[in-house]
């Protein structure tokens, strides 16, 4: 059973600036020795071999950064190296923040590792569980910090800059939030401390009741000719023009914003924002909203902004209670050998 941690929601704007002196390590923030802010690079827990190969390919030679092999004769030898026990062992050491073993040292340990048998398998299982736990932590939508008071604070990763600074979140000058879907649109520009500077909402009849899907996005299947379909098609085009007009009017605010959030589910809805050459959103880094949103209204945009700029205080670390993900089992689906035809109007052809 998953253990729950009681958390208290607090607005980032109500927290004292001096309390935000924290740094981040591997996605889990810790307090620095002097209580000030420390810039620590947040790295992934594991590097994919393909990404590593591409990076070293740019440098002009095939290498392995995990095992500290500076040069291979060719890329074929490099690929063969990626499948060796030596490389896999160093990958496991890397997840535990340990330095790589030299090949000669690994060969000396090979006999010991094979003799240990079940003990080595148990150790590998523990390493695998730890790796899965670290992966679960890395994929968490929030970043956790420890405060001088002994409490823990977590904030949405999507609302934080790349360095994970809470001070930057507190001191944002401009933030844009756009929501769209089901014929509804809502957008707003927020100033310091989350104050609404501009806002606009639209609603058009673009989808049939209880049917889902907007009329303009279902044209590939069949072009309906009913009066209702024509009205929905026209309203969809009109809504698209209205949204793009808002984006054009807010171009300066969008380009000057610290963060721009966009929730536009569906390919057609995203094309409304990005599917034309003059879209101002093409020149900025768009961030997704990391939680479920409701119908696009002004109140919902305000709620989204309030949630993004909120932090959660707790007396216990959320990371400490992250469960180890269950391994996915390979389930085989067994189909019956015979088929019954009792539901058919006539027997099958022989």
Q: Could you read off the pLDDT of 74-100 as tens digits, one per residue?
A: 777 887 888 888 888 888 788 777 788
Helix or strand holding residue 131 (H, E): helix 118-138
Quick one: pLDDT band at residue 288, thresholds 50, 70, 90? very high
DSSP at 8: E
If one counts every other C-beta atom within 10 angstroms of the C-beta of residue 295, the result is: 13
Q: Are 198 and 190 in contact (CB under 8 A)?
A: no
Tell me what pLDDT residue 98 has: 77
Tell me what pLDDT residue 341 has: 46
Known catalytic membership, residue 215? yes
Quick one: pLDDT band at residue 107, thresholds 50, 70, 90? confident
pLDDT above 70 (res 201): yes
Question: What's the mean pLDDT in 304-324?
Answer: 82
Tell me what pLDDT residue 82 has: 81
Count Cα neighbours of 169 within 13 Å in the Cβ-side half-sphere: 29
Architecture of the 173-308 domain: 2-Layer Sandwich (3.30)
Q: For residue 147, what are the CA distances in angstroms to 93, 100, 155, 166?
A: 30, 34, 13, 12
Q: Are 179 and 263 in contact (CB under 8 A)?
A: yes
Tell me what pLDDT residue 243 has: 96
If one counts every other C-beta atom within 10 angstroms of the C-beta of residue 163, the result is: 14
Alpha-carbon distance of 149 to 95, in angstroms, equals: 30
The distance of Cα 22 from the centroid of its chain, to the nearest Å, equals 23
Closest CA to 198 of 209, 210, 188: 188
Alpha-carbon distance of 205 to 183, in angstroms, equals: 6
Question: What's the mean pLDDT in 204-215?
Answer: 66
Tell me what pLDDT residue 106 has: 80
The distance of Cα 123 from the centroid of its chain, to the nearest Å, equals 31
Is the full-model pTM beyond 0.75? no
The number of residues in the chain equals 350
Tell me what pLDDT residue 291 has: 93
Quick one: pLDDT band at residue 51, thresholds 50, 70, 90? very low
Q: Are 189 and 199 in contact (CB under 8 A)?
A: yes
Q: Which of 48-57, 182-191, 259-268, 290-299 has the lowest mean pLDDT?
A: 48-57
Per-residue tokens: 56:
């070293």
pLDDT digits (tens, 9 = 90+) for 130-158: 667 767 777 788 888 877 777 888 899 99
Alpha-carbon distance of 193 to 190, in angstroms, equals: 8
Q: What are phi and psi of 154, to 5 degrees?
A: -130, 145
Which SS3 state, helix, strand or coil, does residue 203 take? strand
pLDDT digits (tens, 9 = 90+) for 53-80: 333 433 445 678 888 887 777 777 887 8
Q: Chain-wide mean pLDDT for the chain?
A: 74
Among the listed residues 71, 215, 241, 316, the single catalytic one is: 215
Q: What are phi and psi of 157, to 5 degrees?
A: -65, -35
Closest CA to 169 of 149, 182, 154, 152: 154
Alpha-carbon distance of 261 to 295, in angstroms, equals: 16
Per-residue tokens: 174:
């401009």
Alpha-carbon distance of 207 to 244, in angstroms, equals: 20
Quick one: pLDDT band at residue 31, thresholds 50, 70, 90? very low
Domain boundaries, the chain: 49-138, 173-308
| 199 bridge partner residues | 188
């Amino acid at each position: 059973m998953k253990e729950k941690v009681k958390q208290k929601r607090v607005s980032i704007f109500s927290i004292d600036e001096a309390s935000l002196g924290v740094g981040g390590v591997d996605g889990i923030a810790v307090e620095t020795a002097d209580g000030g802010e420390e810039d620590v690079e947040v790295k992934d827990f594991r590097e994919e071999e393909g990404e590593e190969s591409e990076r070293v390919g740019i440098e002009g030679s095939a290498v392995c950064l995990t095992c500290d092999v500076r040069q291979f004769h060719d890329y074929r030898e490099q690929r063969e190296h990626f499948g060796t026990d030596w490389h896999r062992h160093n990958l496991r050491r890397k997840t535990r923040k340990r330095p790589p073993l030299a090949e000669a040292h690994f060969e000396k340990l090979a006999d010991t590792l094979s003799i240990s048998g079940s003990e080595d398998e148990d150790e590998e299982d523990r390493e695998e569980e730890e790796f899965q736990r670290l992966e679960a932590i890395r994929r968490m939508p929030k970043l956790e910090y420890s405060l001088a008071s002994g409490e823990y604070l977590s904030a949405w990763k999507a609302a934080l800059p790349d360095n994970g600074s809470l001070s930057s979140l507190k001191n944002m000058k401009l933030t844009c939030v756009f929501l769209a879907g089901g014929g509804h649109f809502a957008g707003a520009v927020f100033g310091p401390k989350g104050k609404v500077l501009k806002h606009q909402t639209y609603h058009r009849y673009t989808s049939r009741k209880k049917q889902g899907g907007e009329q303009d996005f279902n044209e590939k299947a069949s072009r309906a000719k009913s009066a209702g379909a024509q009205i929905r098609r026209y309203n969809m085009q009109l809504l698209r023009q209205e949204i793009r007009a808002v984006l054009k009017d807010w171009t300066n605010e969008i380009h000057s914003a610290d963060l721009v959030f966009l929730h536009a589910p569906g390919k057609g809805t995203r094309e409304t924002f990005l599917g034309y050459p003059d879209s101002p959103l093409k020149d900025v880094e768009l961030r997704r909203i990391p939680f479920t949103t409701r119908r696009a209204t002004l109140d919902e945009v305000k709620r989204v902004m309030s949630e993004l700029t909120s932090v959660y205080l707790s007396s216990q670390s959320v990371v400490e209670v992250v469960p180890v993900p269950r391994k996915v089992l390979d389930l085989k689906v067994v189909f019956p050998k015979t088929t019954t035809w009792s539901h058919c109007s006539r027997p099958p052809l022989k």
